[in-house]
Chains A and B, each alone.
Chain A
Amino acid sequence: MAGTLVIAELGDGKVKKATHSAITFAKQVGAPFAILAIGAGAAEAAKELTAFGAQKVLVTDDASLAHYIAEKLAPTVAKVAKDGGWDTVVMTATSNGKDLAPRVAAKLSAGYAPDVDRVKVDGARRSYRRPQYSGNALAWLEIATPVHVVSVRQTEFIAAEPSGGASPVENVAKAADDAAAARVEFVKIESGKSERPDLGEARVVVSGGRSLKEQFKQVLEPLADALGAAIGASRAACDAGYAPPELQVGQTGRTVAPQLYVAVGISGAIQHIAGMKGSKYIVAINKDADAPIFQIADYGLVADLFVAVPDLVKELKTHV
């Protein structure tokens, strides 16, 4: 039947929060929708997905899917979409979602709308909006094929909340892997796991630039602790090795949209701004009064960060 198929993203046997944004997208489209949870341990993970008003929750729980490999997932995703006659297949605009979606689109001979931040439904006509040109343009596109594949930005679709009810669960057998799957092998995953909130989900993000040098952690961690924040970094700081690469905010790093973004010693290259300008409030601390970051900051403090940040920590501790 016509409607939307949401592909849940699983990680460590749990549903990733970005999935809830894909559900919000499906609800905005308005047609009936189903959710497909695919991966090792999907049956357990899918339990929480039955409370979102989906017509059904489809589960492909297969031990061979313990690690994300596009060539193993794409055939089942495409088959479920085809068999169910779903006209829209929506995925998360995460690294893995964006890895998988175009492969599925090609399999379905479907047009693909990547990284969508809005959807407009006008009768049978549907348009999708997406950021381009480093976030300097928002382009509307339409898809000419009967089936649409979409990936949606977590920062722009507010995570759906469980609405109660219990969608029926249906098990779906895994389709045969792509022949190419025999030529892909998972080796290992190295994660920069920390006690801090995930960059993409944190309410507050504290980000540092190259000028922090070897004192990146020493200066930023107390501030992040005081604000309960995730820590981010500019590309320059990551490239110079002052911050680990997984902290990079910007075009080739994470896109974040917290309530509060504190940019410490960040000049504001357009690649960085593309990754954080959706933040509700931006604070910039920089000793260069002409730094471009001040053009987008709600509150700017021209000061030596090595003095201002410890002062700020003190002030936060005593007065907040």
Chain B
Amino acid sequence: MKILVAVKRVADPDNLNKIKLSAQGKIDTTGLEPKSSPYDEYALETALRLTENGANTKARLGEVVVVTFGPKENEQMLRAMLGTGADRAIRVDAKDDALDGDLVARGLKAVVDREKPDLVLLGYQQAENESNEVGQMLAEYLGWPQATFAGSVKSEDDKALVVGREIEGATAQIRVTLPAVVTVLDKIIHPKSVQSKHTAATHAYPDGVRFAALMAIMAAKKKPLAELPLAELAPDAALKVTYGASELPPKRAAGVKVKDVKELVTKLKTEAKVI
């Protein structure tokens, strides 16, 4: 199976409470380390699990291509992903503020038309913008089925995937015949969430994503990393959505510490009046 994984570099997702606003209301992430969006890392982990035997993860039984849209600095992230196990990387050269989800989806469609993967995997949303839209738009532009909010994926001989979609209070299972677009949640990296054609159903992965071994990082320097101009993929660069100023949400002030359960109940009853 050939899998295309779309990834995005973002400001350190664990420290987004440290963002600031400029005088113009633009979001300023200075001081936050750029990282790959965690859900995209989970998408890559999913792709790796689908294209290997969990008992011998050195041999890649398929092809995993990572693609990102952004400036040259993104190559460091792509190299790291090549070290983790991806075979090839593509960087579509673009300025971050010259993109919206729709343009990325149209650009990705052109990449898919060239690469002809069996599956496109993405994080269900990227950690900064949180728009949760690119996968669905891409599926529409390709005329492919989509499975979003995936908490589990089971390959049926690499011809179809049974996807467990986590929806409010329930898991809805759907079967999508490949090629398809799947967007993943964090639950996808649990030990048995991904069942590949090549791996025994009893196999349990360590919880979480894998890290690149030093040897693999060295070897990754030789793996191909292509650069494509956005204009070649999506000639119409007009944005459908433009962001203006942002606001910081009202800060919740720390309240009071109560000394015991009795005081807590009294406060809830007489002050907050919520019980």
Contacts and interface: CB of A to CB of B under 8 A. Distances in A.
A260 B240 CA distance: 39
B132 A133 contact: no
Nearest to B149: A95
Nearest to A142: B242
A95 B167 contact: yes
A10 to B, nearest CB: 13
* Most central of A71, A192, A260, A320 by chain B CB within 10 Å: A71
Interface string A182-224: 0111111111110000111000100000000000000000000
Nearest to A253: B166
B241 A179 contact: no
Given A106-B141, A252-B124, A316-B275, A295 B242 contact: no
Main SS of chain B's interface residues? mixed
Interface size bracket, B side: 35 or more
A20 interface: no
A298 interface: yes
A142 B244 contact: yes
A179 B248 CA distance: 43
Given A99-B146, A134-B13, A183-B180, A112 B240 contact: yes
A245 B149 contact: no
B240 A111 contact: yes
A152 interface: no
A8 interface: no
A316 B170 contact: no
Contact of A134 (B17, B39, B145): B17
Interface stretch (A22-30, A56-64, A166-174, A280-288): A280-288
B274 A204 contact: yes
Interface string A74-115: 100000000000000000001110111111011101111111
B267 interface: yes
Interface of A: 67-71, 74, 94-96, 98-103, 105-107, 109-115, 127, 129, 131-145, 178-181, 183-193, 198-200, 204, 227, 235, 238-239, 245-246, 252, 254, 259-260, 270, 277, 280-283, 294-303, 308, 311-312, 315-316, 319-320
Interface of B: 11, 13-17, 19, 21, 27, 39, 100-102, 105, 124, 127-137, 139-141, 143-149, 151, 162, 165-177, 180, 185-187, 190, 207, 238-249, 252, 254-258, 260-262, 264-265, 267-269, 272, 274-275
